[in-house]
Structure 1
Amino acid sequence: MQTPPHRPNSGPNASPVNPMPPFVVALFLLIAGIEIAFSAGARGLVGGPGAVGWRLEAVQAYAFSGDVFGWMLANGQYPKEHLIRFVTYLFVHGSFTQAAFAGVMLLALGKWVGEVFGALPTLAVFFGSGVFGALAFGLLTNDPVLIGAFPAVYGLIGAFTYLLWVKLAATGEHQGRAFSLIGMLMAIQLVFSVIFPNGSKDWVADLAGFAAGFAISLLVSPGSWHRIRGKLRRD
């Protein structure tokens, strides 16, 4: 199994700080810009009196809705204005704090994964994990609404885990260590679910996003198709 390619700017004359991949910055700015507009509107700084309800209006129009998803399955109809919810919910957050945490994790994980994978594979992980997370949420829970970028961010954690998994295999170390981060995060989620048993089941979407991110990485990571073809030929 091949090790992940060298990250850019790794030579002796490299800058000590690698530039953030532009597509990661674009995703972050989209999340941040929307949240700044909501927060400013709620405080009456922009938009006039109607701006107080911008967040609620966005949730109604762009959040992933379990009820709408159930209606689509029951009727076999999939209008575009509802299908886009599988993606748009990632950019609507319930609070400034939720958006800030998601944005910081996006920058950290997106930089690491993006420098190895490149733009299109990383975006495939981000949006693919978001879609799969929403799908799992709609099928496995009765919660009405899913918002926030965390399922896609957990997908990036899945890609990060995959890269560690490959690296550990190449060095002969135990590959189970690659899953320590997701194990810790899900343990925290479990503690919160015990403390708040009637809370949101967003963790279902997060875990599904992680699984999707790891699986997508198997297909889109550098050299993945070469490894898969080689394994099929050996089998």
Structure 2
Amino acid sequence: MDEQTHSPFNALPPVVVALAVVLGGIELLFQLASAGLIGGQEGVGWRIGAMQSYAVLDTVWEWMRANQSFPREHLVRFVTYPFLHGGLTHAAFVVVFILAIGKMVAEVFSALAVLLIFWLSAVVGGLAFVVLTDTPYPLIGGYPAVYGLIGAFSFIRWVNLGAMGENQMRAFGLIGMLLAIQLLFAAIYGNYGDVVADLSGFATGFLMSFLVSPGGGHRLLNRLRQRD
């Protein structure tokens, strides 16, 4: 029997496993704290306290912009919010997407490229959230970063479909379906901030792929030359 059939995790790139373990592990700590198994009485409030200190908040951004002051403890929110989730289900879906989409991206891109796409998509998604929307809700969770990976996956499909001479718009089927679902829930709950953050993350991941994919820079240069 092939050794790779022993466990489904054998085929997962280490960078993908690391991202999933870190995000899943932090949610596990919050779950244990909420159950009173760690942290004592203070542990119950760990999630709320973490959101206050590390989530992206429009009120905090407006304060920074109004005062032209951008302290490090607030700027760090744009890279820490993906670690925080609203609950087990929220975190579980993010981890599943990382394992599924991240695997396909990491099989083509380098580990460094995957990390750059993941975190830069999170940062751009967070900035779009505070700049383009005005919402009292905090931005938490890894979805904007995951959507960046979906953007990279769409780029891979887009290039492959183009090479086969097929309709490249088919590469955007996944994001189209996810966006439709998100817009439905956003309309129900009246909160479009997450949609803006996720879509910005997707755009970041797709556009970054021109630069960080194998041969991406040369491919982009050739396309620009063909248009001249």
Residue 204 of structure 2 corresponds to 212
1:111 and 2:111 aligned? no
Alignment of 1:100 with 2:92, yes or no, is yes
5+ residue gaps, structure 1: 1-12
Are 1:158 and 2:151 an aligned pair? yes
Residue 77 of structure 2 is aligned with which of 85, 89, 112? 85
- Of the three residues 32, 35, 45, the one matched with 1:43 is 35
Q: Does the CA contact (< 8 Å) of 2:210 and 2:219 recur in 1?
A: no
Question: How many Å apart are 1:194 and its aligned residue?
Answer: 2.6
Corresponding residue for residue 120 of structure 1: 112
Q: TM-score, normalised by structure 2?
A: 0.92
Q: Distance in 2 between matches of 1:216 and 1:99?
A: 25
1:229 to 215, 221, 224: 221
Amino acid at match of 1:195: I
Q: Deviations over 1:31-75 (max 9, x none)?
A: 111101111111111111110000001001111111111111222
Moved over 2 A (4+): 13-19, 193-196, 198-201, 228-235
Say if 2:122 and 2:142, in contact at 8 Å, map to a contact too: yes
Higher helix content, 1 or 2: 2
Residues 6-17 of structure 1: pairs in structure 2 closer than 5 A: 15=4
Q: Distance in 2 between matches of 1:112 and 1:36?
A: 26
Match of 1:5 in 2: none
How much does 1:200 deviate? Answer: 5.6
* Structure 2: gaps (5+ residues): none
User: How many residues matched?
Assistant: 222
2:55 to 58, 63, 80: 63
After superposition, residues 175-194 of structure 1 pair within 5 angstroms as: 175-194=168-187
Residue-by-residue CA offset, 1:68-116 (whole Å, 9 max, x unaligned):
1111122221111111100100000111110000011011111110110
Aligned-partner residue type, residue 203 of structure 1: V
2:141 aligns with 148
The percentage of counterpart residues that share the same residue type is: 55
Which residue is 1:24 aligned to?
Answer: 16
The answer to which structure, 1 or 2, has the higher relative contact order (CA under 8 A, 6+ apart) is 1
Normalising by structure 1, report the TM-score: 0.89
